Structure 1
Amino acid sequence: MVKEALNWAANMQSIRRVNLTVVTQQEAAICLYRSLGFRIYGTEQEAFLKAGRFYDEHLMTLPISSA
């Protein structure tokens, strides 16, 4: 599903990059996004609170090549 969304974005001339956030503890998701070409460009500390605990999030980006 992620690859389909990225293919769709690549076909849209107005889209230059895709950004996402992922909880820093989600190592499998981070590996998946990196395998698709995303890179971490920052980390937001205490991005959200869930069940009394704060979680950090990585900010990730993927430049889209225009055809």
Structure 2
Amino acid sequence: MCVESCPLRALDLLPIDELKAKYGEIRDVAPLPDSSYTQPNIALRLNNNAKPTNYQGGFLANPKEV
């Protein structure tokens, strides 16, 4: 349902081997925890602005939303 309804076509649902072949082996990106802890079954295609898992430079842009 989510894959079909995503207006940006940002999601894909395939067997993990096909996802890795299509998108590569990247599994680490901020703010997710290091993949060595969670062993996620995910493949990511990162934006040029993506930060590494251990990135500490983020900030809360709108505290009223929290």
Verify same fold: TM over 0.5: no
Scaled by the length of structure 2, the TM-score of the pair is 0.28
Structure with more contact order per residue of length (Cα contacts < 8 Å, sep ≥ 6): 1
* Structure in which a larger fraction of residues adopt strand: 1
Scaled by the length of structure 1, the TM-score of the pair is 0.28
Structure with greater Cα Rg: 2
